[in-house]
Amino acid sequence: MFYFVHRINALFIPLFLIFMLLGCGGQEKPSAVTTDPTEIALNKLGAAYIRGTPPPKTKAELISILKSCNHPIELLISPSDGQEFIIVYGVELKGLKVSGAQLPVVAFEKSGKDGKRYALRGMNTVVQLTEAQLKSSVFPDGYKFPF
């Protein structure tokens, strides 16, 4: 009897650990670590944005959140085009039930580079889009392009 119980434990524990490491699945794989400074800036902006409760409604509120996270306000400037990111304020991102291209764009580059602009979808999805792709992206209701 002892041998049987010991044998089950010897099999069960490694299997349990493997399942714990793999998780339940069904979630998107984390994106690869990036060294692109514009992607990093947008990811940090997204992280700061969702810290606001309610979400920041103004640039001043976002700057306050950035400071509380010990992030420099220079994150508001795109390293790619040197201009301030255009940010859609007041969008509740927590609890969204959509993914991918259905996530609303909450920040994007004013001009971009080489015909493409970096954009932040939802809390942490950074993509590069042409102007046409950006304009056809999902934005919060009532958003009007500044260009």
Q: What is the pLDDT of residues 21-72, one digit of tens each?
A: 444 333 344 456 778 999 999 999 999 988 878 899 999 999 999 999 898 9
Please, are residues 108 and 120 in contact by the beta-carbon 8 Å criterion? Answer: yes
Please, are residues 61 and 73 in contact by the beta-carbon 8 Å criterion? Answer: no
pLDDT at 140: 86
pLDDT at 16: 44
pLDDT at 7: 53
pLDDT at 13: 52
For residue 1, name the pLDDT band (cuts at 50, 70, 90): low
pTM of the shown model: 0.73
Burial of 71: CB neighbours in 10 Å, binned 0-12, 13-18, 19+: middle
Domain range annotation of the chain: 34-135
DSSP state of 59: H
Sheet holding 117-121, edge to edge: 86-87, 105-108, 117-121, 125-129
pLDDT at 69: 87
pLDDT digits (tens, 9 = 90+) for 86-137: 999 988 888 778 888 888 999 999 999 999 999 999 888 999 999 999 999 9
Please, are residues 54 and 65 in contact by the beta-carbon 8 Å criterion? Answer: no
